[in-house]
Amino acid sequence: MNEELLKRYEAIVGQDVIDQLCQMAARLKDARVLHVNSTRYGGGVAEILRSMVPLMEALGLSVRWEVISGDDSFFQVTKSFHNALQGFPIEFTEKAIKTYEENNRTEFEKLEKFLQEADFVFIHDPQPAFLIKFMPERKNRWIWRCHIDLSRPYRPVWRYLRNVVVDYDASIFSMPDFTQPLPHPQYIIPPSIDPLTEKNMELPPEEIKSVYDRFGLDPAKPIVLQVSRFDRFKDPVGVIRAALLAMKFLPFQLVYAGGGAADDPEGEIVYQEVLTAAKDHPDIHILYLPPDAHRTINALQRAAHVVLQKSLKEGFGLTVTEAMWKFKPVIGGDTGGIRLQVVNHHTGFLVHTPEGAALRIRYLLFYQDKCYEMGQKAHQFVKENFLITRHVRDYLSLMLAFISGNGERIELETL
Amino acid sequence: MAEEILFHVKDCALVSISTGVKAYILTELLDHLKQVEIGCLYYHFWARQLRPSFDHPEFHNDFAAWVHRELHDWVLAERLNLIAPHEFHNLEELREELINVLEERFDESGDLPWRKAEKPFYFVKSQIVVIDTGRRLNHPRQLLEVVPSLSQGSIFYHFIDARRRTPERIDDFRAWLSAFSPEYDDLSARLAAIDPYFLTLTEIRNQLAVVFEDYFGENHE
């Protein structure tokens, strides 16, 4: 076991949490776990695996993380699958299916040994999902971890993918709302953040203060922040409209910190729309940050007084979790996983319009004591529910449930 | 003699499983309630403190919270909220009570059974993994030291889940102390005053710790 890593988590979540993980992991000591996804860097799945794999290893499990590769045509196809599964109609062709399946066949040949050796195979998202079709005689457990909101998929693509994922022994979704009918157990495991990463770790006060100079912010005015890609579903123009409405009543500055993604051609268009909406307003700061600006985002979130996530559609919304971890109440759109995290008057406010967001900005900046109290509650809520330690506990529970039978109550005797 | 009665410290974790069943209106909810796996009732009544969700102090079960939040029927929400699951001998009896409360409200109100929620009620069931930690206590005084270090899973298992398991429908601490009766009856009475339905698991642990500290600090042996 990597005692040092466990000690670092223990300092944050408490000994009781780590003791529980050790108790559970001890019963899985010889289990071999394999995670397969399609990228080692960038994106939420890779971020979670970068934390989850070392923590599982530190607990004594034998864990491997393999990444499938592919050429541009494969990733164009899987990107289109991703969009389709979130509800966007795409051109779904035989050629696309062939590209997808052939790439999985090539990757299977590379990974076959590991896929056979593992006791538990966790396949993340649709990209490597087809690997299962090449192992019809498997004896181990295969679990499909879907990080996507499947509530309203583009049916032709889902019909195809459903015929693939039905072969799995179980699937995992982040929320019940994201599931589709499948003939195997569908576990509900929300994602998590890691308090030890650059994005979420404690920062020295001077580093937090440095964002004022770096980005030309006014230290005399409170910061209202939204961290999001330049994507219409994040409603950046609505955020600016909300800020302009609230600025009529009290002084503050809005910071919209975003970036683009290389595979998102719309990002640049939306960025230009945002600049137009901001009209060079001296109290609206639009920051275009590189994808690895984790520490800068961390400092901005800690410097902020109130955080917005006024999305119109959202997956789980880990930026909300990150802000709450930093003691900030969040004004969030009433959608997806934001609803699971933001509870009116407790950890923030759910809103439906720029007007609603403007009202809540005014409320939280005016009632500073309530803002503080809600920030404390938000932090505690994340600590108890949305840290990587809870995420790993859920995976361990799932594996223990698998090896112990399918009863509602599984009793494990002392070791 | 009494010192030989051991308290087995256990821990537990919960896995949530979607059933794929959902309801937008009360008549749908009622129909599904009659048929869903009984494990769903455990999940929506008992397990809410052990899963990642905000522990809303106003509502003690998911049905009451949904009726309040989505259908805005205060009368039904209040009645559902008052259902105490530990008062029923088993989950089938609890299901029966839930159905009765819904049907009675249907008789009183006009359009309520067909009022559509914006967000549906999702029926979820759970698997609970119970782990024997191997820790054994042979004297109540040891609770003073052990309770503050218990995990949330242990607190849930011994203080909440126990109300479903024990014949007297009480927590495991009181069930154990009763074996030493009448010596610890006063301590049991203090534990009985902690209402788990208004507290998070961390708050329950803190309150238990205070009760044990106060009690044994008063020089009880």
Q: Please give the order of strands across the beta sheet that includes A348-351.
A: A284-288, A253-258, A223-227, A306-309, A330-333, A348-351
B185 and B96 fall within a common domain: no
- In the predicted model, is pLDDT for residue B1 greater than 50? no
Number of domains chain B contains: 2
B186 and B203 fall within a common domain: yes
Count the neighbouring beta carbons within 10 Å of the beta carbon of residue A363. 17
B148 and B107 fall within a common domain: no
B106 and B176 fall within a common domain: no
B117 and B162 fall within a common domain: no
**Predicted model pTM:** 0.92
- In the predicted model, is pLDDT for residue B106 greater than 60? yes
B91 and B159 fall within a common domain: no
pLDDT value, residue B177: 96
- In A24-149 the beta strands, taken as DSSP E runs, fall at 32-37, 62-67, 120-124, 141-145
Establish if B129 touches chain A: CB-CB under 8 angstroms: yes
Average pLDDT of the segment spanning A147-171 = 95
- In the predicted model, is pLDDT for residue B3 greater than 90? no
Question: A338: exposed, middle or buried (C-beta count within 10 Å: 0-12, 13-18, 19+)?
Answer: buried
A195-to-A35, A54, A198, A322 alpha-carbon distances in Å:
22, 14, 8, 9
Residue B50's nearest CA partner among A376, A398, A324, A394 is: A394
B65 and B121 fall within a common domain: yes
Neighboring chain B residues of A412 at a CB cutoff of 8 Å: 129-132
- In A297-380 the beta strands, taken as DSSP E runs, fall at 306-309, 330-333, 348-351
Neighboring chain B residues of A190 at a CB cutoff of 8 Å: 52
Establish if B118 touches chain A: CB-CB under 8 angstroms: no
pLDDT value, residue B221: 60
Domains of chain A, CATH where assigned: 3-192+388-404 (3.40.50.2000), 205-385 (3.40.50.2000)
- In the predicted model, is pLDDT for residue B2 greater than 50? no
Contact A48, A125 (CB under 8 A): no
pLDDT band at A375 (very low <50, low <70, confident <90, very high): very high
Establish if A188 touches chain B: CB-CB under 8 angstroms: yes
Give the lowest-confidence range in A358-372, B43-57, B174-188.
B43-57
Question: B196 preceded by cis ω (within 30°)?
Answer: no
List the structure tokens of A380. Answer: 């505690």
pLDDT value, residue B220: 65
CB proximity list for B85: less than 8 A, separation 6 or greater: B41, B45, B46, B61, B94, B163, B164
pLDDT value, residue B219: 67
Helix (H, G, I), strand (E, B) or coil at A288: strand
Of B125, B148, B177, the last residue of a domain is B125
Average pLDDT of the segment spanning A27-55 = 91
Distance from CA of B189 to the nearest CA of A (A): 27
Region for residue A235 given its phi and psi (left: phi exceeds 0; alpha: psi -120 to 50; beta: otherwise): left
Distance from CA of A403 to the nearest CA of B (A): 11
B114 and B191 fall within a common domain: no
**A64 φ, ψ (degrees, to nearest 5):** -125, 145
Q: Name the more confident of B180 and B1.
A: B180
**A137 φ, ψ (degrees, to nearest 5):** -100, 25
Closest Cβ opposite residue B18 in set A15, A186, A343: A186
B138 and B104 fall within a common domain: no
B86 and B182 fall within a common domain: no
Q: Where are the alpha helices (DSSP H) in B51-113?
A: 62-66, 74-81, 91-108
Helix (H, G, I), strand (E, B) or coil at B59: coil
Q: How do residues B69-104 score in pLDDT, each as one tens digit?
A: 899 999 999 999 999 998 898 899 999 999 999 999
Residue B215's nearest CA partner among B142, B121, B152 is: B142
* Element containing residue A390 per DSSP (H, E): helix A388-404
B70 and B160 fall within a common domain: no
Of B125, B156, B171, the last residue of a domain is B125
Q: How do residues A60-79 score in pLDDT, each as one tens digit?
A: 999 999 999 999 999 999 98
Interface test with A, best of B8, B11, B16, B46 (most A CBs within 10 A): B16
pLDDT value, residue A274: 94
Contact B120, B26 (CB under 8 A): no
Helix axes A44-58 and A3-13, enclosed angle (nearest 10): 110
Distance from CA of A397 to the nearest CA of B (A): 6
Establish if A381 touches chain B: CB-CB under 8 angstroms: yes
Of B75, B94, B125, the last residue of a domain is B125
Q: How do residues B165-221 score in pLDDT, each as one tens digit?
A: 888 889 999 999 999 989 999 999 999 999 888 888 989 999 999 999 999 988 666
Neighboring chain A residues of B49 at a CB cutoff of 8 Å: none
Q: Which chain A residue has its CA at the smallest distance from B134's CA? A: A414
Residue A115's nearest CA partner among A139, A148, A82, A99 is: A139
Count the neighbouring beta carbons within 10 Å of the beta carbon of residue A280. 8
Residue with tokens 């696309």: A96
Count the neighbouring beta carbons within 10 Å of the beta carbon of residue B120. 18
How far, in Å, CA of A360 to CA of B27, rounded?
36
Helix (H, G, I), strand (E, B) or coil at B7: strand
B153 and B202 fall within a common domain: yes
How far, in Å, CA of A167 to CA of A145, rounded?
13
Count the neighbouring beta carbons within 10 Å of the beta carbon of residue A401. 22
How far, in Å, CA of A40 to CA of B212, rounded?
50
Mean residue pLDDT across chain A: 94
pLDDT value, residue A265: 62
Interface test with B, best of A9, A10, A20 (most B CBs within 10 A): A20
Provide the residue range defining the domain that includes B87.
14-125
Q: How do residues B11-28 score in pLDDT, each as one tens digit?
A: 999 999 999 999 999 999
Count the neighbouring beta carbons within 10 Å of the beta carbon of residue A41. 10
Indicate yes or no: CB of A381 within 8 angstroms of CB of B122. Answer: no
Establish if A346 touches chain B: CB-CB under 8 angstroms: yes
Indicate yes or no: CB of B130 within 8 angstroms of CB of A411. Answer: yes
How far, in Å, CA of A33 to CA of A220, rounded?
52
Count the neighbouring beta carbons within 10 Å of the beta carbon of residue B75. 12
Contact A261, A338 (CB under 8 A): no
- In the predicted model, is pLDDT for residue A268 greater than 80? yes
